[in-house]
Amino acid sequence: MLKIDLTGRLAVITGATGQLGRVMADVFSDCGADIAVHYNSNSSKAEELVRTIKTRGRRAEAFQADITNYESVLEMQKRISETLGNPDIIVCNAVIQYEWKPVLEQDIPDYYSQFESCVMQNVYMAKAFVPAMIENKYGRFIAVNTECSAMAEANCSAYTSAKRGLDGFVRCFAKEVGEHNITVNQVAPGWTVSYVDRENHTEKQEQYDRTVPLRRRGTDMEIASMAAFLASDLASFTTGAYIPVSGGRVMPAI
């Protein structure tokens, strides 16, 4: 029977205290991985995650960094290496939140912030962590994209344009590091049900749900499960992929 087994692997998850990140940390550790829990400001949640992961017998530590600042990412890499070792898995999940508006009303700095968090985060994380993966001849680099990059709908141009830029980075990078047994892939969620929806009973969004072939929103667990699959040896021959987890709302063409 196939099983997602990450035993003995060390994963860095950026934005691990966020709505999706905390579920990824939980799922990856449940699959056997040790976790470097990245956070920007929510130190209390990061420490709570670390305690939970350690109850499973996994190693875990929390690390603060600004993922839009290269020096901060390099410092995090140094601390992770000294504390837990060199990671086998990188999940770039963090993103800067902002208010979505039409292009003519969107603040110019929002375009820069989205490019920094969606594209440059991945560049910085790659430069900081992938050299050790090349030495080890093994690595999994997973970027969190979105269905928005394929749908290109109104009022989300800053987010969409940045995530489309991320797609270009991933495809180029996958071709550059594949010879070192390193895969580079993207998970692209739709509008995802998280703990916030469960608390507020907002899981159902009828107008949106009607646009999804499966007639519902995906869950944080379903997104995290796809990421865990890509992090595992079950996905050892998959690289450069943009994988929608959107219930069929996005169907990439050949």
Indicate which CATH number applies to the domain containing 81.
3.40.50.720
Evaluate whether residue 250 is within a structural domain: no
Q: Average pLDDT of 104-116?
A: 97
144 to each of 7, 162, 166, 193, 216, how far by Cα in Å?
22, 12, 9, 16, 20
Q: Is the pLDDT of residue 1 over 80?
A: no
Is there a domain that residue 193 lies in? yes
Would you call 154 helix, strand, or coil by DSSP? coil
pLDDT of residue 206: 96
What does the alpha-carbon distance between residue 123 and residue 60 come to, in Å, rounded to a whole number?
24
Confidence of residue 57 (pLDDT cuts 50, 70, 90): very high
Residues 6+ apart with CB under 8 A from 99: 110
| Number of separate domains in the chain | 1
**134 pLDDT tier (thresholds 50, 70, 90):** very high
Give residue 49's domain range. 10-244
- Indicate the pLDDT class of residue 254, thresholds 50, 70 and 90: confident
Residue 248 has a pLDDT of: 97
Report which residue type is found at 84: L
Flag whether 254 is in a domain.
no
Residue 252 forms part of a structural domain: no
Give the contacts of 209 (CB within 8 A, at least 6 positions apart): 215, 216, 217
Instruction: Give the pLDDT confidence score for residue 178 in this predicted structure.
Output: 98
In a domain, 4, yes or no: no
Residue 68 carries which DSSP code? T
Q: What is the mean pLDDT of the chain?
A: 97
Q: Does pLDDT of 253 surpass 90? A: no
What does pTM read for this prediction?
0.96
